[in-house]
């Protein structure tokens, strides 16, 4: 493993400790009474709560005065990304942490507890995997691979997507975890991903990682992702050319408004 900065190593150790203490012992061994439903198809587990409490305390001590999901400089935590995967015992899971300032992510960490892999990035400094610099690699396949979670699309929106977008791409099932989707887009498994919901804890770290790797993670109108704007819709692409092509198609057919 390449050398990590002191901060990256400290964050990795916190995420690893949280995973080993709470997440991995319950992976594929979660009890029914350790799961609650926040809404339809929206589970939350005791692991979500334990890891969030631990990381909130640990990160507050690491950087006193920096809030957790605050107004200006703040930590943003996804304590268990891929909760549905975790509860089913199938699919990918992760922990994500981002540091934001004035609405923009300036650092992000994506930890895969099963692989013990840390993807991390800082604004203007590049993207790394376990301390080794990485660059986004499109697959080069024609048509390109596009990951989409159609269950988050409305009925008319899904029909428009299937009629006007799908014919131009190889549609791939999204992994159900942004902690896996963003690395897949960088590593060449997926050329593109389309996101409907863009909550900060799901996307702040991954969007920064993809952009710093030389990909393009932007709103369909080309504007940057902000953690505080409350907008829906985003495209993650392994290259700007791939982004531009999909964004143009989406906007031209009225699938997603430009603003």
Residue 258 pLDDT = 40
Q: What is the CATH number of domain 6-133?
A: 3.30.540.10
Alpha carbon of residue 53 to chain centroid: 20
Residue 12 has pLDDT above 60, yes or no: yes
Architecture per CATH, 145-252: 3-Layer(aba) Sandwich (3.40)
Condensed to tens digits (0 to 9), the pLDDT of residues 243-254 reads: 999 999 999 998
80 SS3 class: strand
pTM of the model: 0.92
Nearest to 121 by CA among 132, 238, 113: 132
Q: What is the separation, in whole angstroms, between the first and last Cα of the chain? A: 42
Residue 150 has pLDDT above 90, yes or no: no
238 near 137, Cβ under 8 Å?
yes
Q: Quick one: tokens of 203?
A: 């996307």
163 near 192, Cβ under 8 Å?
no
Q: Where are the domains of the chain?
A: 6-133, 145-252
């Amino acid at each position: 493993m390449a050398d990590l900065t002191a901060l990256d190593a400290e964050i990795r150790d916190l995420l690893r400790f949280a995973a080993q203490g709470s997440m991995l012992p319950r992976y594929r061994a979660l009890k029914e009474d350790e799961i609650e439903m926040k809404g339809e198809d929206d589970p939350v587990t005791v692991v979500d709560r334990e890891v969030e409490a631990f990381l909130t305390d640990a990160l507050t001590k690491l950087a006193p005065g920096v809030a957790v999901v605050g107004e200006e400089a703040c930590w943003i935590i996804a304590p268990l990304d891929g909760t549905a995967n975790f509860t089913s015992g199938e699919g990918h899971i992760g922990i994500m942490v981002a540091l934001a300032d004035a609405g923009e992510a300036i650092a992000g960490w994506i930890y895969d507890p099963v692989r013990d892999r840390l993807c991390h990035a800082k604004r203007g400094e590049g993207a790394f995997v376990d301390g080794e610099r990485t660059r986004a690699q499109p697959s080069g396949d024609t048509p390109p691979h596009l990951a989409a979670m159609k269950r988050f699309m409305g009925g008319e929106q899904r029909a428009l997507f299937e009629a006007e977008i799908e014919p131009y791409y190889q549609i791939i099932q999204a992994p159900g975890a942004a902690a896996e989707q963003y690395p897949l887009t960088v590593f060449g498994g997926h050329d593109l991903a389309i996101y409907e919901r863009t909550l900060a804890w799901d996307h702040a770290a991954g969007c920064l990682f993809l952009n710093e790797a030389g990909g393009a993670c932007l709103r369909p109108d080309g504007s940057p992702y902000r953690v505080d704007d409350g907008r829906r819709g985003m495209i993650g692409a392994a290259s700007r050319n791939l982004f531009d092509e999909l964004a143009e198609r989406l906007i031209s057919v009225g699938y997603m408004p430009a603003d």
